[in-house]
Every structure is written in C-alpha cells, then in structure tokens.
Amino acid sequence: MTRRSTIQGGSKEGPLGVLIDALGSCGVEHMPHDWDDWKEWKKWKGRHRHGRPDWSRPGRVYGAERSEEQRERSEQRRAERAERWEEREAERARRRDRDRRRRPELTPQEEAYREARRAAEHKIRFFQHLVSYTFVILFLLFVTRSMFVATVVGLGWGIGLASHFFQVVVAPSLRQKWVRDEDEKLRSLEELSASIAHEIRNPITAAKSLVQQLGEDPTSTENVEYANIALQELDRVEKSISHLLRYAREEEMHPQQMKLVDAVESALETLRDRVQAANVKIRRDFDSQGELVGDREQLRRVFINVIGNALDAFTEAKTPNPSLAIGVGENLGGSEIWARVRDNGPGMDAETQARIFKPFFTSKANGTGLGLAITRKLVDAHGGAIEVSSTPGQGSEFTIHFPKQAQSPEART
C-alpha cells in the first residue's frame, strides 16, 4: 500500500510526501488541503491576494499590519526631518540677526562706494568671460578648421554670455530706474493725498464757520454776505473734486487723422471772450498744418489749458500790452509735430517751473492746480512731451511735441 503524506489534512504521494511528513505541519491553515486540486488552489489565492502567510508564525497574515507600521515609521521620520529643518532655519536666522547687529552701519558715501565696487567687480568678471569666449572660439577655428563647429559652440555659449551681459550691464540700470520710478510714484501719491486734504478741508472749514455765524444771529444784515461766501467756498470744493476726478479717470482715446492747427483754432474760439476782455494780441506762426493721428477733443483741451493759463497770468499780473505767439510745425525728419505757445507775461522762477505740472500746485489765487497736470497727462497719452521755459519778468514758453502716429506709452513699450 502506497504511503500518503498530508499538509493540514491533505496528502501527497512519493518521496516528497515522506519529506513533508518528516518535517511536520508548517502551520498553513488557510491553504487548500489537497495539493492536487488546482482549482481549489486558484480560489484560495484569489481570496488571499491582499495578504501573504507568515511561515514562521502559524496562521498569521501580516501584510496590512506591516504596511501600517511602515506608514507610521515614515511619518515619524518625515516629522523628525521637518523638525530638524526648522531648527536649522531658526539657527540661521539667529546668526543673521547677530551678524547684522555686529555689522557697523555704513554712511551713504560708504554704501555708494560699496555698490560701485560691486558693480565694477561684476563688469570685470563679464570681460573675463568675454575674453575666454573669444579665445575658445578662435582656438576651435584653428584646430577644427570648421566654421560649423565654431558657430554651434559660439551660439550655445553665446546664450550664457548674453545672459551675463544682461545681468551685469542692463539689469542694474533697469533696477535703478524702476526703483526710482516707484519711489517717485509713492512721493507723488503722498503729496497728492496731502494736497487733496488741504484743498477740500480749507473751504469746508470756512463754509462751516460761516454757517455757524448764520445760526448765532439769524436776523443779522451780514447773513446774505456770509451765505454768498459759503456758497463760493463750496463751489471751490466742487470745482476741485471735478478736476480731481477728471485727472484720476482714464479717458478713452478716439484717435483719428486730424490737423493740430484745427485744435489750436478751436481752443482760441472757446477762449475768444477772455482774449477780447484782456485785450490780448494773438500772433499765429503756422509753418504747417500739423497733420497727425490723435484725439481731437483731448488735444483741444490741451491748448485750452495752456492758453488759459497764460490769460490767467496776464490778468493777475496786469501785464501791459499782453500778447501770445502760437506756432505749429514739423521737425526736419517729418516724423514729429511741435506746437509752441509763448507769452510776455510775468514769467516763472526755477522752483515754480519744476513743480508746475504736479497735481494741486498752483500760484494763482483761485486755481485748483490740476489744469497743467491734466494737460501733461493728455500729452503723455498721445506719446508726446511738454516742456516749459521761463524767465521772471520776460514771459513763459510751452513747447509740446507729438509723434505723427500718436500712441500711448504702454503701446510704445
């Protein structure tokens, strides 16, 4: 009779069965009892594919438990690494603070010298890079005698050389320009805020005081005069706010082919009553019609503000025999239109010329200080520029330049 061996109840014939009987039970409780039944084995494997038997400990499947243990250890190691990284960063911050406290404060001259020295060192490194690049390319040409090889290496290395040039030469100037522009914007915003508060608070305070006086003595004969003054002060506030909104609002441009002379004549027609009342003599020096692409209404307002500013100066200074000379022409290349408005009024000093285009700066008794600021904004919107030159007692001259194809600074950049 043939001897059969079993694993947990199963049997196996032959020498392998004898060996298994000698080893005894392996502790496999979940395996099928009959090794010869292959279908039963496949069913068991399908039911137990998420775990595997532990042959050292009978009946234990520990795959899921071991995965959980590994996950916990991994999270613990990750937490330890994060803690060590935070400690290192805190130590570095302490060292930087300690070094900053130990470092002596530099004077502006010493700081400028340090920046100049650093810039010079960067330029020296760039020229060293350029010399190395040149010699390597020449060496490749001499050794390989192949223009193709030298060109490929030169282009590949040239990208790095161009980047180095940008960082050393172009980037510092751009950085200084942008920082200076942002600083000027912040200062202008502070000045503008202070000017707005001043222009609005003073008339309101005066009007409030006058209204209080009206309430103290309602039957006083001076109440009518007080009321008129209060209304004038409130009108001044309304005028300032209206000009401020016009200055702050981004107006939509409607560019079209036009003649700058037409904008000048339209402005003179608008101001005709004031010109006649002040007995101002107008002289026109039109070398050309000034054909360009621009917004007709905005350019008309530009000349209204400039000419109106001259008329105000005539009135306040009581200039004898006031006169205005208005000229329009083109540059020699024919790419730019210029307009010039010159008067024989009281003129301006250097300080006034430097601040005349700033918002709310005015030298007139009843001015809002926004007329020339709006003028400059409209000229800038056309891609142009406005300049002023003046001598006290000898009059002022405003010169405005426009490109023939007027466009905004954003479009030009």
- What would the pLDDT profile of 195-216 be if each residue is shown by its tens digit? 667 667 777 887 788 788 777 7
Residues 118 and 240 in one domain: yes
The mean of the pLDDT values for the chain is 77
Residue 324 CA to residue 342 CA, distance in Å, equals 6
224 lies in some domain = yes
Tell me the pLDDT band of 401, cut-offs 50, 70 and 90: very high
304 lies in some domain = yes
Share of the chain above pLDDT 90, in %: 12
List the domain range (segments joined by +) for residue 321. Answer: 256-412
Residues 210 and 355 in one domain: no
Of the residues 196, 226, 249, the one at which a domain ends: 249
27 lies in some domain = yes
Closest Cα to residue 10, out of 19, 31, 58, 60? 31
Judged against a pLDDT cut of 80, whether residue 45 lies above it is answered with no
pLDDT of residue 57: 45
Are the C-beta atoms of 2 and 13 separated by less than 8 Å?
Answer: yes
Higher confidence at residue 183 or residue 192?
Answer: 183
Q: How far is CA 105 from CA 25, 109, 113, 183, in A?
A: 84, 12, 14, 23
pLDDT of residue 349: 85
Considering its fold, how many domains does the chain have in total? Answer: 3
77 lies in some domain = no
Judged against a pLDDT cut of 90, whether residue 70 lies above it is answered with no
Over range 211-228, report the average pLDDT: 77
234 lies in some domain = yes
Residues 280 and 302 in one domain: yes
Residues 228 and 360 in one domain: no
Over range 216-238, report the average pLDDT: 78
pLDDT of residue 212: 81
Residues 241 and 133 in one domain: yes
Residue 14 region, left (φ>0) first, then alpha (ψ -120 to 50), else beta?
A: left
pLDDT of residue 131: 92
Q: 11-29: b or e for each residue (b if 16 or more CB lie within 10 Å)?
A: bbeeeebeebbeeeeeebe
